[in-house]
Structure 1
Amino acid sequence: MSESPQSVRRSRVFRARWVVPIVGPVIENAAICVEEGRVASLGVCRQTPDVDLGDVVVTPGFVNANTHWEFSDLERPLGRPEQRFPDWIRTVIAERKRGDREVAEAVGGGRNESLRCGVTAAGEIATAPAGVYRRDPTPIAAALFHEVIGFSTARFESALAHGLERLQSSTTSACSGAFATLPDGVSPHAPYTVHPQLVQRLAEASRNDQFPVAMHLAESLEELELLHSGRGPFRDLLEERGMWGDEVIAPGTRPLDYLKQLATCWQALVVHGNYLTSNEIDYVAAHRDRLSVAYCPRTHAYFGHTRYPLERMLASGVRVALGTDSRASNPDLDLVAEMRFAAARHPEVEPALLLRMATADAADALERGGRRGRLAVGCVADMVAFEYDAVTMSPIDAIFEGGELSRRVFVAGEEWLPGGS
């Protein structure tokens, strides 16, 4: 289906047994009026609808805060569970060198799988040219964070120029229309692949040119060891690849040093943050206007990390967005499965809050303005309708506990069907 607003029907009223708007109370016997792809009104149904969705629970389209679609052709995660993280990185490098890789096909498969699962927007760490993502017809909005790697002092200037060139090309080729895309940005990959001065320069560019930044940070204990002492398995990996320089990382460096740089960006997403300290969590919370954290529960579990500090983050006021990461560390790209897994791992966190982390909070982590991830007047009418046949279960509990749920997905008020519509 076309993504341009001109192709969207001007006005249509949907009726559903339940609507979960995220930003307001759950509505029973609800009507959603959609005009030109946006929510025009929302409330109790008092008229004959154009489309009666029946006994369903309608939520906003899900927003996946962290994806790597280039690995969507994998049938199972790379490496093995609880493998040392630098060793897993080696398997990723080997996978990228595989001669028969079809990145465009994998990206298309990832976009298609995401939309089938009800994800209508995503934050994608982009390693391929923008055209690979833009030419896929699946109508999922994507913020492309173009990956930048440049660890050595000699290389970071060229890495900076190349990253900003890719961003400029991406912005120029972005789809037209209000619903087609999200703001693109860059991703200085991680402390073990990016010179601190490169992070600083990208942060300056982000602030001046108003684009978002995403960075993997505090992801593993091996990363913390490298920052603190310049030693350990990541040092070994960098030396193997001819990237190590003694002058790059000052002894005693902490994730907080990178957070201070990211806080100067126009908007920034900390990907993972598995090992942020209490002080660092408080710092992220104090900069909520610019900083968010992406939590990928099943990927976190795959590597056997210590318990994720989700409750501490939420108590401090950190905006936490849910993501799946990639099929290189996750069996699928289903955010409902991610929410259910997180609910089991964090029973103290209300399901309604986890749902918000996969919708409104994830949307706000990727884009300012609050136009996605909620059903409210003026927002993009991306919706997921879940079958609902429970008598005693609440609508939100039905999403978390209702077994395999069939889903109908609507993009800007138009139903999307696998294979195109």
Structure 2
Amino acid sequence: MRTTVGIIGGGPSGLLLARLLHNAGIDSVVLESRDRSYVEQRQRAGILEQATVDVLRSAGAGARLDREGLVHDGIELRYDGRAHRVDFPSLADGRRVWVYAQTEVVKDLIALQLAEGGPLFFGAEVQAVDGADTERPVIRYTHDGREQTLTCDYVVGCDGFHGVARNAVPEHVRTTYERTYPYSWLGILAEAPPVHDELIYAHSERGFALASMRSPQVSRLYLQVPNGTDPADWSDERIWDELDARFALDADPEWRLKRGPVTAKSVLPMRSSVTEPMRYGRVFLAGDAAHIVPPTGAKGLNLAAADVIVLARAFEHLRSTGSTEQLDTYSDTCLRRVWRAEHFSYFMTTTLHTDPEQSGFDTRLQLSQLDRIATSPHAAAELAENYTGLPLA
């Protein structure tokens, strides 16, 4: 086969790029190594920034999001036994966020791609990208038990940190900057209504906790735990008790989460990573293939969406003008946003979590920073602007 843009990876970034290219009249082929059922059930992020929602709507993928997504105008910070709400629209030029799980975004985009878009192959395992620095890179892959090739004008790697696309960038060309955090998240899905209509981020001497949701009937909750924690070591009752302890309020000692059956339980390590450059020859990296953020800042899916929005615009510019200028500046354009999001995610993570080697001095610094957000409109606006997402250029 031959196509203009070969997309490796059928997650949200690859599917969104395919949709944006289709709407612009640019052909593409999406190769996804997993089967459709796996991709549509893969649990990931659940917070969408204003710009991500706007582009999904404009791409024709916003109908179910508008019906079922939960609009959030702020978050609540809990620390030192107190609660403070950060109001997004008043602090970030009217921007807000939506709770709508990545699994649902993927389902919507898959349905559109299969109904209207170019080829989308599940179970297509990519072995390599040959000729990244030539005018006709080739993706070698296996599908239906046969080795096949896809010749492209351009290749976009949306296949994650351990995917094949990163290897198309020679080791001597790419640099990866990383940070591993000394704690993880124990996350649960529970058949229990959310205790609050917005997310609650809690700083506690016992460790961080987050109360989120997937729907009005399903809660998504997280606890900071040591690296290497086995979720089987945490009974449901122990998890609920620890969550209540970390969310405790001095002014409302009877405050408790609404409990229900725990339907899923997993441990998520925390790390940050950026690979530069995000382009080599005619191969472009997007999403987790180029960068990873800890989930505290709700940036992962939104950064991936921003990457492919920039890339789709660059391909449209090439088609309409013949100029590769925007493709040539893709890496620099995206990395400015990536590093801003990395910094915000790092700030949220290190401000709200308790390091195993943390001193009393360190804790007082964290509480001072949280108090500044609660008392300074400028500090609150900085958080709100970054959380809701900086406007796309």
Shorter-chain TM-score category? under 0.3
More strand by share: 2
